[in-house]
């Protein structure tokens, strides 16, 4: 009998030790959440938002897409991104529903780009893809950032936001390979749609796995059942400076992102360099978020926002002062290596400061970025046409706007209870 008891205890011990601990469950849940956000952002942003850039040369070659038409397609996506940010903050859908809709719209519109050569219809698909990208970004940021914070793992947001850079690099490498294999652009769009569909399936599986161990925090439920419109308006007014600063980031970022390739073409004659430029830009963005998520533990969000935006401002200014390939490379690294870090810090700040209205505030800062992104090229065109301002002058203006945003970020944001939130290491 003693022997049987010993055997029973031994078997119970084996079963007990095989059972995962609460810490292991939390680690598994947060990793699944971060990976779900990683893949969702790779799909929504890397494909829905940025896949057109590496596909453009292929479409010009085999679909007879003109440069002016390409400009309209890019603008349609920008306008869609702004509309999507406004929609994401207004519609009362649950956050997970918004994410599913955003992902499915990216898959469908990417596949539709392969049908026909009628560019006004392409503009419609690119507009809807822009809407989907913004909805997806807002939904991922709201859902995953709040849960990671509730589980005590906010630093894993660095892994999540790496998805944007990974998606950009993946799209660029796929397009470069397909182009070298002389594949038509329509087929390339279908390949992108298939990759997006695979990402959608993986995202849903990972979110289901994460939800098994972690129920949504109260703030996420509060977002789904949003408060009165009066409190939302008061929240937006209280956070007007945060929204404005993020809009300045969009204005300053888009000028080099739009015009640096044009400057590079004037200095470099080898077209193969441009084939690698976009994947390298994405890899720099991916690496920067991972690195900064480690450094971030010693600094506040706003401190890291200011530091990285100062580096971006330097990258914007250098080509205006120094015309060379080296200057272009430095600028690309400064801008490509910081834009996703600033995005991550801004999204985290909005999620924390928004409280019960986190999704609305995240949507507002995303809309501000989209507005700044649209305003940048328009302001440059108007200054060039009516004031004779050169591209170098526009870059100086972009640098000045980024520096203004940095100065405004130095003053503490209002906390949820109305008190100030100083820059210190205690901020999560």
User: Which pLDDT value is given to residue 425?
Assistant: 34
Give the whole-number percent of the chain exceeding pLDDT 90: 31
User: Which pLDDT value is given to residue 234?
Assistant: 55
Q: What pTM was computed for the model?
A: 0.80
Question: How far, in Å, are 224, 302, 365 from residue 340 at the CA level?
Answer: 27, 14, 14
CB 95 within 8 A of CB 224: yes
Give residue-wise pLDDT tens across range 390-411: 778 888 888 999 999 999 998 8
Q: Cα 78 to the chain's mean position, in Å? A: 14
Low-confidence ranges of the chain (pLDDT < 70): 1-27, 211-237, 260-277, 296-297, 414-428
Residues sharing a CB contact under 8 Å with residue 395, sequence separation 6 or more, in sequence order: 255, 256, 259, 316, 317, 319, 320
Give residue-wise pLDDT tens across range 170-202: 988 898 889 888 899 999 999 999 999 999 999
N- to C-terminal Cα distance for the chain? Answer: 56
User: Which pLDDT value is given to residue 63?
Assistant: 83
User: Which pLDDT value is given to residue 42?
Assistant: 95
Rg, C-alpha atoms of the chain: 23
H, E, C per residue of the chain = CHHHHHHHHHHHHHHHHHCCCHHHHHHHHHHHHHHHHHHHHHHHHHHCCCCHHHHHHHHHHHCCCCHHHHHHHHHHHHHHHHHHHHHHHHCCCCHHHHHHHHHHHHHHHHHHCCCCCCHHHHHHHHHHHHHHHHHHHHHHHHHHHHHHHHCCCHHHHHHHHHHHHHHHHHHHHHHHHHHHCCCCHHHHHHHHHHHHHHHHHHHHHHHHHHHHHCCCCHHHHHHHCCCCHHHHHHHHHHCHHHHHHHHHHHHHHHHHHHHHHHHHHHHCCCCHHHHHHHHHHHHHHHHHHHHHHHHHHHCCHHHHHHHHHHHHHHHHHHHHHCCCHHHHHHHHHHHHCCHHHHHHHHHHHHHHHHHHHHHHHHHHHHHHHHHHHHHHHHHHHHHHHHHCCCHHHHHHHHHHHHHHHHHHHCCCEECCCCCEECCCCCCC
Residue 421 phi/psi, 5° resolution? -115, 95
Which domains does the chain possess? Answer: 28-421 (1.20.1250.20)
Residues sharing a CB contact under 8 Å with residue 284, sequence separation 6 or more, in sequence order: 165, 332, 333, 336, 337
User: Which pLDDT value is given to residue 195?
Assistant: 96
User: Which pLDDT value is given to residue 415?
Assistant: 60
User: Which pLDDT value is given to residue 422?
Assistant: 39
Residue in 231, 226, 34, 42 with CA at minimum distance from that of residue 143 = 34
Cα separation, 134 vs 77, whole angstroms = 10
Residue in 50, 73, 79 with CA at minimum distance from that of residue 371 = 79
Longest dimension (CA), the chain: 98
User: Which pLDDT value is given to residue 391?
Assistant: 75
């Amino acid at each position: 009998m003693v022997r049987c008891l010993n055997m029973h205890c031994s078997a119970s011990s084996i079963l007990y030790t095989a059972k995962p601990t609460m810490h292991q469950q939390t680690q598994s849940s947060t990793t699944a959440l971060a990976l779900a956000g990683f893949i969702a952002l790779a799909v929504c942003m890397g494909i829905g938002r940025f896949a057109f850039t590496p596909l453009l040369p292929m479409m010009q070659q085999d679909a007879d897409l003109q440069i002016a038409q390409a400009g309209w397609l890019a603008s349609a996506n920008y306008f869609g991104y702004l509309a999507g940010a406004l929609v994401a903050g207004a519609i009362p859908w649950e956050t997970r529903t918004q994410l599913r809709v955003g992902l499915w719209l990216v898959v469908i519109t990417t596949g539709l780009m392969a049908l026909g050569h009628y560019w006004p219809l392409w503009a419609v698909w690119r507009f809807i893809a822009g809407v989907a990208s913004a909805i997806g970004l807002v939904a991922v940021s709201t859902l995953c950032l709040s849960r990671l914070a509730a589980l005590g793992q906010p630093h894993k947001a660095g892994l999540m936001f790496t998805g944007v850079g990974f998606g950009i690099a993946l799209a660029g490498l796929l397009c470069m390979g397909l182009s070298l294999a002389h594949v038509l652009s329509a087929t390339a769009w279908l390949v992108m749609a298939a990759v997006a569909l695979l990402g959608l399936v993986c995202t849903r599986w990972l979110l289901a796995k994460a939800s098994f161990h972690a129920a949504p925090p109260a703030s996420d439920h509060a977002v789904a059942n949003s408060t009165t419109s009066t409190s939302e308006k008061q929240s937006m007014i209280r956070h007007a400076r945060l929204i404005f600063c993020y809009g300045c980031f969009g204005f300053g970022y888009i000028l080099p992102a739009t015009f640096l390739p044009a400057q590079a073409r004037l200095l470099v004659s080898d077209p193969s360099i441009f084939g690698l430029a976009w994947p390298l830009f994405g890899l720099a963005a991916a690496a920067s978020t991972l690195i900064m998520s480690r450094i971030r533990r010693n600094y506040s969000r706003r401190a890291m926002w200011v530091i990285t935006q100062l580096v971006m401002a330097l990258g914007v200014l250098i080509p205006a002062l120094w015309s060379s390939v080296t200057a272009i490379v430095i600028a690309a690294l400064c801008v490509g290596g910081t834009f996703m870090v600033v995005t991550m810090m801004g999204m985290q700040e909005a999620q924390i400061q928004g409280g019960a209205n986190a999704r609305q505030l995240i949507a507002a800062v995303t809309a501000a970025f989209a507005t700044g992104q649209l305003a940048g090229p328009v302001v440059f065109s108007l200054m060039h046409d009516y004031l004779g301002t050169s591209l170098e002058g526009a870059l100086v203006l972009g640098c000045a706007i980024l520096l203004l945003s940095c100065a405004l970020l130095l003053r503490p944001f209002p906390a949820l209870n109305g008190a100030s939130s100083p820059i210190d290491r205690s901020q999560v």
